[in-house]
Structure 1
């Protein structure tokens, strides 16, 4: 017998028929004797519609009332799933975040979970009841108001519930059957990874992988909670119920590095196309200048990614290149005008036709030559590197966006990631 948290995203619960399919997945686990808590997202498209209605009602809306509206999407899903489970003869009950309670900070729209009281749910478990919990939300205790966790928050809700309930595994059901070495749409020979470390998954999530949300991976890593990525579109009857000695048979397990007996030097190739490059030319090279440049960007809530700096031959100036999301380029250029007033004139060049390609792998910690292999492979295809950044388990390069897919295919092959 295992304690299992199962999370289903918006596409998995997009309509009543898919909710019935989800219920069959849940019934499989219950019939096997497992104790089950289900965390659900809103049905696909519902949250977007709710947000649109709020904005139509008033552009200057109250954040607490915004949360009160957008949280209803998950509440509908939870109620519908509980009804379907009951129709199958299972004991099931829907739970909203405030009923458990899942307590959060007061940052409405981007709240963080501060605690979960799992005592009542554990008691219901022992009575054989399935708990269907609304993802994406909790309650801010001081004012006792619903607070939402931000986009992708249901993944975080699921991992937090798994930690609170001391679950054996947190199964995240999506529209893909695991974590792949790269996007199979670009590289048909991409392979499903049976295991991936928390650190690798965190890098993949931060680079735009939509399999898991970044905060959920951070929470799983801190608490050493095993997370498994599965597809809800595999027939429930074709999947075996959770057995702790056979978790690797399907999907991808996100786990501690020590649990991965053998790992390749490189485990995946990630890419981000919606990047923009900004270069500041002949900025005065003196202490405090960087802070006065990036301060206005931070004030405008613009996230800066790659940063490369080089001193000009005269030794008095520096050129700075950094990247932002392409959608933030116009606001970035506007914010830089404030910096010019503060530190003096400098030239600005920008381009939205760039892409970031990243090589990821925990094996890079103990193997030399990964970067050299990357640079040589890209050079052989005539791909020019515009900027480079590295971390302990990642090397990222900025290239012309037109070469993004070629770069991904080339690197996937050169590091031996292609399926046989």
Structure 2
């Protein structure tokens, strides 16, 4: 049987009218296919639930937080199932635990360990549309967990991979991946095809259209992702199945304003300094992005960036590390921005880095930190300079670069 897995985001199920439109699309698809639909909570509901939790407690229990945050998806799956049944089709909705989506015990950021697809397959054989709650799972101790923001993308990709499918549809309120944020850059272009590696870098650098873990999972299982609009039949962006080329191609330029920077200054030098610092931070479940070490005589300064969501926790840990290592002080900037230029061949073509620095210099935008990999250059800049930097880099590196168009047509 031909099985299709489709994921619909929060805006797609935000109102009764939109849920009914999705139901009609699903019923039409079911005429020739077996359908599994993964849905998010209605737009805004997760934020509302989180806000209520924070009113009760500034530091709520992670377990209890997952209990309340998993509620939104249950609303979506039940309403969509009702809408499909009203159109005369059979459907059944499952929460994460009912669908046997087994995760580890890392509340709020759980990772899927295994999906027992027997029940899902059984319902498909009964000719049911199977509707799954995204974003959530269950531990082996029957504790409810959530996968973190954007977790419904991960659920859909994991289910498609478990079923051995070749493609998964991620339907959202945008019609594909763009070369930059079209809300900021007017001339941003839709990308037709993009590699897993490039998409992963874009997702991790501020492009919010796909969850990075979803892309990792797809790459491991050689599963193509078709990112497309929930509201039109227009072809979107295909992630995966792209051949890498030696010629440098700038595929996208992203901006993340959700960054913080912390510096631990004047640390007496020791071979174990980095190990001590980042082991302490890792023990708190904090992911670090850019790291810069500066050694002066017998002291070193360590600066690093991280998600603003982890800033308070990271600052607390950094102050403890300062005391432990007898550092002089801790400096921080809670709100910085990261601009990233992404594409194959960047590291092996120094002219690209030089162009990035030239563009920012011409705009008198100071660069605080820099990181360079094979396919990405990231610059930490002040929040006030971030949007103009993004626009100018897009103008000089993409809008005036015809190689992008050649690559798109392959």
| Band of TM-score, shorter chain | 0.7 to 0.9
CA contact (8 A) 1:192 1:252 kept: yes
Q: How does 1:257-336 map to 2 (within 5 A)?
A: 257-258=242-243, 265-312=249-296, 315-326=297-308, 328-329=310-311, 331-336=313-318
Unaligned runs of 5+ in 2: 406-410
CA contact (8 A) 1:292 1:342 kept: no
Would the alpha carbon gap of residues 263 and 5 (structure 1) be closer, same or farther in structure 2, given more than 3 Å must change? farther
Match of 2:381 in 1: 399
Match of 1:255 in 2: 240
Match of 1:341 in 2: 323
Match of 2:225 in 1: 227
Counterpart Cα distance in 1 of 2:100 and 2:136: 10
Counterpart Cα distance in 2 of 1:73 and 1:126: 28
Counterpart Cα distance in 1 of 2:273 and 2:3: 54
Q: How does 1:62-141 map to 2 (within 5 A)?
A: 66-141=65-140
Give the superposition deviation at 1:188. 0.5
Give the superposition deviation at 1:215. 1.6
Counterpart Cα distance in 2 of 1:401 and 1:59: 27
Would the alpha carbon gap of residues 21 and 120 (structure 1) be closer, same or farther in structure 2, given more than 3 Å must change? same
CA contact (8 A) 2:346 2:353 kept: no
Counterpart Cα distance in 1 of 2:257 and 2:69: 29
CA contact (8 A) 2:7 2:39 kept: yes
Match of 1:154 in 2: 152
Give the superposition deviation at 1:387. 1.6
Counterpart Cα distance in 2 of 1:326 and 1:71: 23
Would the alpha carbon gap of residues 116 and 48 (structure 1) be closer, same or farther in structure 2, given more than 3 Å must change? same
TM-score in terms of structure 2 length: 0.87
Match of 1:377 in 2: 359
Give the superposition deviation at 1:347. 4.2
Give the superposition deviation at 1:81. 0.7
TM-score in terms of structure 1 length: 0.85
- Relative to structure 2, which stretch is displaced further, 335-344 or 4-13? 335-344
Q: How does 1:36-51 map to 2 (within 5 A)?
A: 36-51=35-50
CA contact (8 A) 1:2 1:168 kept: no
* Number of residue equivalences: 402
Match of 2:372 in 1: 390
- Name the Cα RMSD after superposition: 2.9
SS in 1 for 2:189: coil
Q: What whole-Å deviation, never above 9, does each CA across 1:268-306 have from its counterpart, x for those lacking one?
A: 001122333334444323212233344444444444321
Unaligned runs of 5+ in 1: 240-248
Give the superposition deviation at 1:327. 5.6
Q: Which of 312, 333, 339 pairs up with 1:351?
A: 333
CA contact (8 A) 1:181 1:417 kept: no
Counterpart Cα distance in 2 of 1:318 and 1:60: 33
CA contact (8 A) 2:112 2:137 kept: yes
Match of 1:4 in 2: 4
Give the superposition deviation at 1:96. 2.5
- Relative to structure 2, which stretch is displaced further, 65-74 or 164-173? 65-74
Counterpart Cα distance in 1 of 2:118 and 2:255: 43
Give the superposition deviation at 1:109. 3.3
Q: Which has the higher contact order (CA 8 A, sep 6+)?
A: 1
- Relative to structure 2, which stretch is displaced further, 78-87 or 287-296? 287-296
Would the alpha carbon gap of residues 106 and 311 (structure 1) be closer, same or farther in structure 2, given more than 3 Å must change? closer
SS in 2 for 1:171: strand
Match of 1:244 in 2: none
Q: Which of 211, 214, 220 pairs up with 1:213?
A: 211
Give the superposition deviation at 1:68. 4.0
